[in-house]
Amino acid sequence: MKKGLTITIAILMVALLWYFLIKPQDYQIRVVAKSNTGTINQALKAWNNTLPNATVRQLNNLGNLEQKVVTGDSTHIYNWNITPITDSTSQLIVNVKDEDHSMGNKLVIPFYDSDFEKQSRKTVTDFIESLNAHRKEFKVTFMGEDNLPSTYCACVEHKTTQITKAFGMMESYPFLNSVIASNGIQVNGIPFIETTDWNMQNDSISFNFCYPIIKSDTLPQIKDIIYKEFIGKKSLKAIYNGNYMTSDRAWYTLLDYAEEKNIAIEKNPIEFFFNNPNMGGDALRWKAEVFMPLADQDE
């Protein structure tokens, strides 16, 4: 009897020690989101930018982000963990901790619904509502594999971020159009971007915004314009409808498919644009064909 009581007390002490001193979060929230990991990652970063006193950073990978939200005299840390369930749903596990009042939260949480818990749930709910609204703003349709043809092109180089990619395009559209029209250059297709570097940790990208043209010996040499041969490859393909600011949502669809099917790819997406974003209009009618080249191909 005495031995059993001693064991029970020891187990209780270990449990209390773990709960108050080792357990990393004060509160945990679980929710299923109707999006893939990459879309949730980007939507969370964009939504965070709308909050008055909040920062977010990606940790180990796309599925792990840390957000800090200052509310009153407290700093709440949200550790967002995203795990795919299907190609269009993900499990979110959000571990929340109050940087300054963690011990107090752990004392009261087992006994009543505290303001900290209510605020934590509201924050997660607000994000899910923002994500659901964003999902209605675009559509991605996976098309399979396709052969991307080669072409000669006139390009403008850009170094920017995923979210500002479309602004670089909008700057280059009138510039390239003017150069092409005033110099009698013959266009040979619709404009496209060729991504040359994609840092998935900090969302920075380098890309060429290009017009396919007919190669000529008399092409004018103009500052900020390069002429090059674009080498087409067999690629995974998706159709994107929506504002080109978020056409990278199709990139993540292609990444997920490649990972699921164990297909080696080059993470340098290519996008062909059927609409000019400077003209405005219903963005859901905008169309882009998005490609992710397969790796290890003979040139």
* pLDDT tens sequence across 30-57: 999 999 999 999 999 999 999 999 999 9
Same domain as 189, residue 51: no
Q: What integer pLDDT is reported at residue 71 of this predicted model?
A: 86
97 vs 68: CA distance, rounded Å = 10
Residue among 240, 236, 239, 238 at smallest CA distance from 258? 236
Chain-centroid distance of CA 256 in Å reads 12
pLDDT tens, position by position, 154-210: 999 999 999 999 899 889 989 999 999 899 899 999 999 999 999 999 999 999 999
Number of domains making up the chain: 2
| pLDDT tens, residue by residue, 258-282 | 999 999 999 999 999 999 887 778 9
Top-confidence residue, 176 or 4: 176
How sure is the predictor about 17, in pLDDT bands with cuts at 50, 70 and 90?
very low
Percent of the chain with pLDDT over 70: 87
Spatial distance between the Cα atoms of 80 and 293, rounded to a whole number of angstroms? 30
Report d(CA 27, CA 24) in Å as an integer.
9
Percent of the chain beyond pLDDT 90? 72
Give the CATH number for residue 226: 3.20.80.10
Q: Does residue 284 share a domain with residue 175?
A: yes
Establish if 16 belongs to a structural domain: no
* One domain, residues 65 and 199: no
Are both 64 and 178 inside the same structural domain? no
Compute the CA torsion angle 126, 131, 133, 135 (nearest 10 deg).
Answer: -170
**150 and 120 share a domain?**
no
pLDDT tens, position by position, 73-92 = 889 999 999 999 998 999 99
| 122 and 155 together in one domain | no
| Same domain membership, residue 231 and residue 187 | yes
Q: Mark out the alpha helices in 20-82 (DSSP H runs).
A: 37-48
**10 Å Cβ neighbour count for 241?**
20
Please say which residue of 101, 136, 171 terminates a domain.
136
Q: Which of 95, 115, 136 is the last residue of a domain?
A: 136
Best CA proximity match to 77, nearest among 67, 87, 86: 67
Residue 10 lies in a domain: no
Q: In sequence order, what are the residues at sequence separation of 6 or more whose Cβ sits closer than 8 angstroms to the Cβ of residue 168?
A: 158, 160, 207, 209
- Whether residues 160 and 267 share a domain: the answer is yes
Q: Is the predicted pLDDT of residue 116 greater than 90, yes or no?
A: no
Supply the pTM of this predicted model.
Answer: 0.88
Residue 198 lies in a domain: yes
- CATH number of the domain to which 41 belongs: 3.30.530.20
Q: Within 13 Å, how many C-alpha atoms sit on residue 136's CB side?
A: 5
Identify whether residues 118 and 213 lie together within a single domain: no
The domain boundary residue, chosen from 92, 107, 136: 136
> 16 vs 208, which has greater pLDDT?
208
Query: Is position 15 within any domain?
Result: no
In a domain, 86, yes or no: yes
At residue 20, the pLDDT reads 42
Rounded CA gap, 111 and 2, in Å? 30
Tell whether the model's pLDDT for residue 237 goes beyond 90.
yes
Query: Does residue 113 register a pLDDT over 90?
Result: no
**Domain-located, residue 17:** no
**What Rg value do the Cα atoms of the chain yield, rounded?**
25
pLDDT reported for residue 15: 41
Q: Provide mean pLDDT across the span 133-161.
A: 96
Q: In 3-state terms, what secondary structure has residue 213? A: strand
Same domain, 146 and 188: yes
Closest CA to 123 of 72, 61, 47: 47
Which two tokens mark 37? 């990991």
DSSP state of 21: I
> Does residue 249 lie in a domain region?
yes
Domain with 28 in it: 23-136
Residues 144 and 121 in one domain: no
Report CA dihedral (223, 228, 234, 237) to the nearest 10 degrees: 20
Is residue 57 located within the same domain as residue 173?
no
Q: What is the pLDDT of residue 109?
A: 64
Whether 4 maps to a domain, the answer reads: no
Contact 120, 74 (CB under 8 A): no
* pLDDT (mean) for 119-147: 97
Interatomic CA distance for residues 39 and 30, integer angstroms: 18
